[in-house]
Amino acid sequence: MFEFFIALFGGLFYGNKYSNEKAKLKAYDDRQNAWMSTLESIQSRYVASTELERWAKDFILKGDHFDDICNWFAEDFRYVFGVNWKDKLRIPPKAPVLDPKVYKNDAYSFSVPANHITWVYHLLLAKKGKIDHNIPFSGYGVGGIDDKNMTIKFAECIEGQLLNAGVRGIRLALELDMMYGTRRRASSEVCGGSIKIESLCHHPTHRLWEDYIQK
């Protein structure tokens, strides 16, 4: 009789454990399927073509369109840098001298010394309602402590440009990365994380600004 109760309760215990594990696995699969569905939707609608990415990079690096860039994004630059933004913005007003240590052989490798140019590239795509093909996976890197406020403001401007272009379903949020094996919880520790599309984040996120209001 004693063995019967051991077998009974043991069966119930392992049965419940199996059910719980099965439920957790199903929940994980559901989250993964939802993530993949969202990713595919964003990729099909909003990821820029190779041709558009090349156009945006050439448009900046040729250095012939500095005035156009300043006119298009004057409000964004003022928001990021303040009223003296023209003195702080580092976009070459004429064709840059190529440095073989910086530029690769590929005509469209986008590696430039001024991080402002990278943000202008993303703003150009966002103005057309598009994002770089890497963004759904890697987001916008925050960089070091000195860059964090500028990064947050530029990301807010990118989101605003996307919304103005008619994009829907994209909200950007901070996903904190791992530090010494522990995920940081405070949004004030923004350096080292990434600004990602909120619906594609695997980990808890922080919205760093209010929902976009036209400035």
CB 52 within 8 A of CB 128: yes
Same domain assignment for residues 170 and 104 = yes
pLDDT, residue 122, reads 94
- What is the rounded radius of gyration, in angstroms, for the C-alpha atoms of the chain? 23
Beta strands in the chain (DSSP E): 140-141, 172-175, 178-179, 182-183, 194-197, 205-206
CA distance 142 to 115: 11
The whole domain housing 79 covers 47-206
How many percent of the chain have pLDDT more than 90? 27
The reply to whether 174 falls in a domain is yes
DSSP 198: G
Phi (first) and psi of residue 197, to 5 degrees = -70, 120
pLDDT, residue 9, reads 54
Residue 79 has pLDDT above 80, yes or no: yes
Same domain assignment for residues 29 and 105 = no
Same domain assignment for residues 158 and 77 = yes
Where does the pLDDT of residue 167 fall: very low under 50, low under 70, confident under 90, or very high at 90 and above?
very high
The reply to whether 103 falls in a domain is yes
- As a dihedral over the C-alpha atoms of residue 190, residue 193, residue 196, residue 200, rounded to 10 degrees, the angle is -120
Q: Given its phi and psi angles, is residue 131 left (phi above 0), alpha (psi -120 to 50 degrees) or beta?
A: beta
pTM to 2 decimals?
Answer: 0.73
Same domain assignment for residues 38 and 55 = no
The reply to whether 213 falls in a domain is no
The reply to whether 156 falls in a domain is yes
Per-residue pLDDT of 90-143, as tens digits, reads 776 655 555 544 444 444 444 444 578 888 999 999 999 999 999 998 888 776
Same domain assignment for residues 84 and 105 = yes
Where does the pLDDT of residue 86 fall: very low under 50, low under 70, confident under 90, or very high at 90 and above?
confident
Q: How many domains does the chain have?
A: 2
The reply to whether 212 falls in a domain is no
Same domain assignment for residues 38 and 91 = no
Same domain assignment for residues 196 and 117 = yes
Per-residue pLDDT of 94-108, as tens digits, reads 555 555 444 444 444
3 state SS of 182: strand
